[in-house]
Amino acid sequence: MRVLVVEDEPRIASFVKQALTEQGFDVLVAATGDEGYDLAQHESFDLLVLDIMLPGRDGLSILRNLRAQRNRVPVILLTARGELHERLEGLDLGADDYLCKPFFVEELIARIHAVFRRAAGDGLSLRQAGALTVNLSTREVRREGRAVDLTAREFGLLEYLLRSPGRVLPRTQILEHVWGYDFDPQSNLVDVTIRRLRKKIESEGEEPLIETIRGVGYRFRETAGSRR
């Protein structure tokens, strides 16, 4: 797996590169946002570890531009502890995960493996629920023939719901599986992402696919004809 680390602090960049290399990753380091963005545009990587605060282009603008170009390379953001608005903006832009500084490199490695597992998925690549079709390999979503453009997080949430049609999934369980780690159980992150997902896959007049189970969580409607 080829990983690009965009980090301007030499000490952090050095120990991250060493640790990932020891795990068998092919690691390239960029010390500025401009260098990192150029590499991400013109070379192929399996994952980006992207600091938000960078000289030149900042990490969020890099992520925003990559997603605007439909570059879906998985991205883990490195953020300053306490900068909640930056983390939320990064997730909304399509980041797959984030890690607050200072961090243990072992946790970064675990996050990377979790992102790869989610990206790889399991089972058949095509899932269908009524007129909704989801291709897990190409990450393409269509309903009634129209293309549905989802962020990486929205796609991960839809995929997780689709795997268990008719089953009620608590918010805490959704956070653990879709975001890959424990999150503040009081967070409304799941509810916000569900609302965005519904707007995209449930146009006016179309059959609702996601049900809210008040006080518990959500489930994908089994009556929608979900099948693998």
Lowest mean pLDDT among 3-7, 81-85, 147-151, 197-201: 81-85
Residues of the chain with CATH 3.40.50.2300: 2-120
Fold (topology level) of 2-120: Rossmann fold (3.40.50)
128: pLDDT strictly greater than 60: yes
Return the pLDDT at 56. Answer: 93
Sign for the CA dihedral angle at 108, 109, 110, 112 comes to positive
Residues of the chain with CATH 1.10.10.10: 126-227
| Burial readout 59-96 (b: 16 or more C-beta within 10 A, e: otherwise) | bbebbbebbeeeebbbbbbbbeeebeebbebbbbbbbb
> For the segment 64-84, what is each residue's pLDDT rounded down to a tens digit?
999 999 888 999 999 876 667
What's the pLDDT band for 159 if we cut at 50, 70, 90? confident
Fold (topology level) of 126-227: Arc Repressor Mutant, subunit A (1.10.10)
